[in-house]
Structure 1
Amino acid sequence: MTASENPDLKIAQAHTLKPIGEIAEKAGIPEDALIHYGKHIAKVDMKKIGEPKEPAKLVLVSALSPTPAGEGKSTTTVGLADAFSLKGKNTMVALREPALGPIMGVKGGATGGGYAQVVPMENINLHFTGDFHAIQIANNTLAALVDNSIHQGNPLNIDPRRVQWKRVVDVNDRELRNIVVGLGGPAQGVPREDGFDIVVASEIMAVLCLATDLKDLEKRISDIVVAYNYDREPVTVRELEVQGAITLLLKDALNPNLVQTLGGTPALVHGGPFANIAHGCNTMIATNLARSLGDIAVTEAGFGSDLGGEKFMDIKSRFGDFGPDAVVIVATVRALKMHGGVKKDDLNTENVDALLEGTSNLRKHVENVRKFGVEPVIALNRFPNDTEKEIKAALDWAEENGFKAALSEVWAKGGEGALELADQVLKAIDEPVKFAPIYDTEDGIENAIETIAKEIYGASEVQYVGSAPAALRRLKKNGWDKMPVCMAKTQYSFSDDPTKLGAPEGHVLHIRDLIPKLGAGFVVALTGDVMTMPGLPKQPAALRMGLDDNGEAFGLF
């Protein structure tokens, strides 16, 4: 494959980008606040940003339960922001950074698509400003310091069997899930079982994405639990006395990255925790900066509203003391048909009956968002193989049920393809919102889990299996049971079983472990078979990537 055979990359490469200084001026960011990474990328030095003005209206873009290829949530987010810009609104968009592991695995890229992209897409998808590398190095430096403390006399009495802190790498590498370290004799360290996570699952990523400034970042790093000692008491980074060094490695990564959309809308692309194994939102700093600069700030949360959307509203909004003024739920004809029973290989065949059957999933997502006090808008993201009959059936269903909905054609038309959607969202923004998280942390972690399981997932009960009962006792013993919960769950189903599509009810949610993330300020609840180190598929996207004779990238999409 060459760049000319890949429409997304071809469109991005053909676009003439504006100098980043021009984009910054449009956003109201002073020139002396820019740390340039070439002509079209800059970090924003937050020390040079003045006092925030009245916060902008905040639009959160989420989705229904996706198919394996995704439903174009980032594409819709970018296109909607460009539509607002076309309507004369001072708009900022805030997105997550792509992770290299999934790019080389399934995604092939994560900067939107068609005429609704953030650019330069090659740079953003490949290394960008080095934020993920900084997180990886900070995480692994901390791992080395933990092991060194054990090796050098173990002054903190760390039990090597209870080291919690794993190393990370930005590669989907199943071989590293479970390993043994420290082999080779006394000089090589203390042998113990260990394993790697992917970078986006690191607590350092979550900490960076929830920190409000350098002081808050260092405080959160100090609170991280890295191990337990022989008395089963937690050992934190503060006790290792290395929080300063780890913060030092992250000082530049904490500054948000400024780029642009194809429509010239300023875009902050910063941070990137997964939504099925972490909280799935871009950094608090980028969101707050976007809110302080524009009339409208558009942001997204990973996967469906049951994952990133719920975590945005129950975790990020709680910590940030804000809530969305409007929520967009991205849906597609193909996802509706899959939830209606159509196999992946048959999704290009017209099937209105299956589509209508699959609206059960979309209905549940709409109902879930309403539980937070926000009336959502459905964006039906058009794909080339959608038929007019299928599109009409989906939009008619929404109208008949009293749901706000509009067709989105941003892949083919950019912002012009979301003008009707923008009108719907602007109407939603003007309506009163009574936003609130769906649980009170003071009621305890069990209540939080049960509320999410029953209210958001449609489960009938929660069962604690495997390591979870002991972990729950440990949480209570240490007083950690009144933090928000970050559910690690498959993105493909409301249940913990990815094969249960549609809107299953009465299922049992199985919690197999509870992992305190004191730096991030939440507890991760592991369900089902969700892993913190993904593997590569049989035909990874990396097989189609490379450079042509002119040194231009191909294979990204």
Structure 2
Amino acid sequence: MAEVKSDIEIARAASKKPILEVGAGLGIGPEHLLPYGHDKAKISAEFIAAQRGKPDGKLILVTAINPTPAGEGKTTTTVGLGDGLNRIGKKAIVCIREASLGPCFGVKGGAAGGGYAQVVPMEDINLHFTGDFHAITSAHNLLAALIDNHIYWGNEQNIDVRRIAWRRVMDMNDRALREIVCSLGGVANGYPRETGFDITVASEVMAILCLSSDLADLEERLGNIIVGYRRDKSPVFARDLKAHRPMAVLLKDAMQPNLVQTLENNPAFVHGGPFANIAHGCNSVIATTTALKLADYVVTEAGFGADLGAEKFFDIKCRKAGLKPDAAVIVATVRALKMNGGVKKDDLGRENLDAVQKGFANLARHIENVKTFGVPVIVAINHFISDTDAEIAAVQSFAASHGVEAVLCRHWAEGSAGIETLAHKVVELAESGQAQFSPLYPDGMSLFSKIETIAHSIYRAGEVTADKAVRDQLRVWEEQGYGHLPICMAKTQYSFSTDPNLRGAPEGHVVTIREVRLSAGAGFVVVITGEIMTMPGLPKVPSSEKIFLNEQGYIEGLF
């Protein structure tokens, strides 16, 4: 049996084109590219603005069934499909999120695709890249510093220090920082108070950057951030502290989409990175809308399973940006179906038709949910070496019984050649005119009713519970004019429920709302459920233990 190369070995052996050449293929002149080395560049705001009158290409969403803890290749399939569409003669651009250092050194080890369906430079994309996350972290923490500084110098805005809503962020999983007390040490250090850290990808600044259409929109949204409340409970905005303009300065370059390439030298926009389980889980609006002006097909992903990623893509990103997806691909693996059928992670490599069939309920639920939004669906079976012919045939037969095709894809091992069939099928679906996209709920519905609609329609919950304080807070926000905002659910990715161990397609479960946060700048209400944390922790054996520099100075351990 031939040796299987690691993702990083494959990426390192790639024959990359100069990034100016990749840009030229999209009609982007060198004067509109800001190179970061030879293999990545940012696209100028002037070029993006000049594209606005052009017609849009077709928008394809790649989502998935509920994953196993190891991940099942949604980004890999997104990249592979982009390569596959280019292979069959379509001009296609891949749009994916940037990787966070937290999960990179925690569980995932990387987020640039895998095998022969990757975006490169893989090491850079998974680490510091072009500095976007650093800029977002700095802008967020500038506002945090300005809040405490304002209070220290007399508190002209009469901020109630008990009601400061703005926490700090860093791009690393560090449970020790979830809840802290700051400003200890005496008068010179300010007024002690409780606060905490979230991970950068959960920052409202990240969400704002990913939903802004240009720098002017970015600055206005930053000004709309609510940092806390006065004693009369009136909100204090970032613009009240004159913070939005310097924050926008820090984000000026970060707002520009990043252009890289796939292993097959096809263009990819990698920009923005909100988590799907604690944020809205989509790459930036500006990257997606720009790509639609430059390509026949844009393939983008939404984080984790469709219950999280696709729902937020449709109800937040598409609603806010006026996007209308033409087709959706649901990534399924035999492994994930088995786990949803009750098999433990260590036993996923063994044939188990019974478990695969038990896992079908999870796939069926996602198919039904995506169709609810009026978007036609196809299933991509991301092939793993351990899959058997009988298991694959069972998945295809089940999908057919639900009126959708399930196409076996071998892009991880074969690149675009292994996903050519899916590419043809996606073109047929997108060109069929079946798409009649509509969000799940109207803007005018009450905030709690929106939460219930998601819980009942997408999660199949029997009940939504929330303390009186949560319900009262939602009513106050409605009275303040925020009732029209969509909902961003913070929930485990491993289950339709809020219990990560409840696999398959549970019904009648209870969704408990622990906390709600108003993201007035981004334009949504974050609803935190179950045990989900906006500052994750590292596992007992983090991926960082396997990441090192070898004797040649190359990075090992990213995968």
Give TM class, smaller chain.
over 0.9
Give the residue type in structure 2 aligned to 1:494: F
Structure 2: segments with no counterpart, 5+ residues: none
Displacement of 1:5 after TM fit? 8.3
Q: Is the 8 A contact 1:57 1:295 kept in 2?
A: yes
2:335 pairs with 1:370 = no
Q: Is the 8 A contact 2:447 2:478 kept in 1?
A: no
- What secondary structure, in the 3-state scheme, does the structure 1 residue paired with 2:380 have? strand
Map Cα deviations across residues 233-261 of structure 1 (whole Å, 9 max, x no partner). Answer: 11101111121111011000000000000
Q: Give every structure 1 segment of 4 or more consecutive aligned residues whose post-TM-superposition deviation is greater than 6 Å.
A: none
391-400 vs 273-282, which moves further: 391-400
Map Cα deviations across residues 395-430 of structure 1 (whole Å, 9 max, x no partner). Answer: 122123321210111100111111111121111102
Map Cα deviations across residues 176-209 of structure 1 (whole Å, 9 max, x no partner). Answer: 0011001011111110001000000000000000
Measured in 1, the distance between the counterparts of 2:458 and 2:27 equals 39
2:46 pairs with 1:47 = yes
Map Cα deviations across residues 7-57 of structure 1 (whole Å, 9 max, x no partner). Answer: 101000011110001100112212110001001010011213423321010
Structure 1: segments with no counterpart, 5+ residues: none
- What secondary structure, in the 3-state scheme, does the structure 1 residue paired with 2:308 have? helix
Measured in 2, the distance between the counterparts of 1:476 and 1:221 equals 21
Structure 2 CA distance for partners of 1:512 and 1:467, relative to 1, 3 Å: farther
Q: Which residue is 1:35 aligned to?
A: 34
Q: Which residue is 1:176 aligned to?
A: 177
Q: Which residue is 2:397 aligned to?
A: 396
Q: Which residue is 1:503 aligned to?
A: 505
Which of 435, 438, 451 is 1:436 aligned to? Answer: 438
84-93 vs 473-482, which moves further: 473-482
Measured in 2, the distance between the counterparts of 1:482 and 1:54 equals 29
Map Cα deviations across residues 311-354 of structure 1 (whole Å, 9 max, x no partner). Answer: 11011101111121000000000100011111111111110111
- What secondary structure, in the 3-state scheme, does the structure 2 residue paired with 1:288 have? helix
Measured in 2, the distance between the counterparts of 1:341 and 1:51 equals 49
- What secondary structure, in the 3-state scheme, does the structure 1 residue paired with 2:307 have? helix
Give the residue type in structure 2 aligned to 1:542: S
Q: Which residue is 1:477 aligned to?
A: 479
Q: Which residue is 2:12 aligned to?
A: 13
Q: Which residue is 1:88 aligned to?
A: 89
- What secondary structure, in the 3-state scheme, does the structure 2 residue paired with 1:306 have? coil
Q: Which residue is 1:453 aligned to?
A: 455
Q: Give the TM-score of the pair, scaled to structure 1.
A: 0.98
Q: Is the 8 A contact 1:32 1:48 kept in 2?
A: no
Measured in 1, the distance between the counterparts of 2:222 and 2:120 equals 32
478-487 vs 334-343, which moves further: 478-487
2:312 pairs with 1:280 = no
Q: Which residue is 2:494 aligned to?
A: 492
Give the residue type in structure 2 aligned to 1:19: P
Q: Which residue is 1:325 aligned to?
A: 326
Measured in 1, the distance between the counterparts of 2:283 and 2:221 equals 17
2:253 pairs with 1:239 = no
Give the residue type in structure 2 aligned to 1:503: A
Structure 2 CA distance for partners of 1:54 and 1:495, relative to 1, 3 Å: same
Measured in 1, the distance between the counterparts of 2:169 and 2:247 equals 15
Q: Is the 8 A contact 1:176 1:195 kept in 2?
A: yes
- What secondary structure, in the 3-state scheme, does the structure 1 residue paired with 2:444 have? helix
Q: Give the TM-score of the pair, scaled to structure 2.
A: 0.98
Q: Which residue is 1:254 aligned to?
A: 255
Measured in 1, the distance between the counterparts of 2:521 and 2:265 equals 36
Map Cα deviations across residues 465-500 of structure 1 (whole Å, 9 max, x no partner). Answer: 374233223323322222100011110111111111
340-349 vs 274-283, which moves further: 340-349
44-53 vs 13-22, which moves further: 44-53
Measured in 1, the distance between the counterparts of 2:458 and 2:184 equals 46
Measured in 1, the distance between the counterparts of 2:438 and 2:306 equals 15
Q: Which residue is 1:523 aligned to?
A: 525
391-400 vs 528-537, which moves further: 391-400
2:315 pairs with 1:314 = yes
- What secondary structure, in the 3-state scheme, does the structure 2 residue paired with 1:303 have? coil
Q: Percent identity?
A: 55
Q: Which residue is 1:116 aligned to?
A: 117
- What secondary structure, in the 3-state scheme, does the structure 2 residue paired with 1:407 have? strand
Q: Is the 8 A contact 1:466 1:513 kept in 2?
A: no
Measured in 2, the distance between the counterparts of 1:418 and 1:498 equals 31
- What secondary structure, in the 3-state scheme, does the structure 2 residue paired with 1:310 have? helix
Map Cα deviations across residues 288-320 of structure 1 (whole Å, 9 max, x no partner). Answer: 111010000110010111111101101110111
Q: Which residue is 1:70 aligned to?
A: 71
- What secondary structure, in the 3-state scheme, does the structure 2 residue paired with 1:520 have? coil
Map Cα deviations across residues 77-103 of structure 1 (whole Å, 9 max, x no partner). Answer: 000000000001011111100000000
Displacement of 1:436 after TM fit? 0.5
Map Cα deviations across residues 128-148 of structure 1 (whole Å, 9 max, x no partner). Answer: 000000000000111000000
Measured in 1, the distance between the counterparts of 2:444 and 2:471 equals 20
Measured in 2, the distance between the counterparts of 1:32 and 1:448 equals 46
2:414 pairs with 1:413 = yes
Residue correspondences, number: 554
- What secondary structure, in the 3-state scheme, does the structure 2 residue paired with 1:207 have? helix
Please tell me the root mean square deviation across aligned C-alpha atoms, in Å: 1.2
Give the residue type in structure 2 aligned to 1:92: I
Measured in 2, the distance between the counterparts of 1:405 and 1:374 equals 16
- What secondary structure, in the 3-state scheme, does the structure 1 residue paired with 2:540 have? coil
Measured in 1, the distance between the counterparts of 2:473 and 2:503 equals 30
Q: Is the 8 A contact 2:51 2:290 kept in 1?
A: no
Map Cα deviations across residues 361-403 of structure 1 (whole Å, 9 max, x no partner). Answer: 0000000000000121100001121122211211122123321
Residue pairs, 1:53-64, within 5 angstroms: 53-64=54-65
Residue pairs, 1:125-274, within 5 angstroms: 125-274=126-275
Structure 2 CA distance for partners of 1:231 and 1:69, relative to 1, 3 Å: same
Give the residue type in structure 1 aligned to 2:40: I
Displacement of 1:511 after TM fit? 1.3
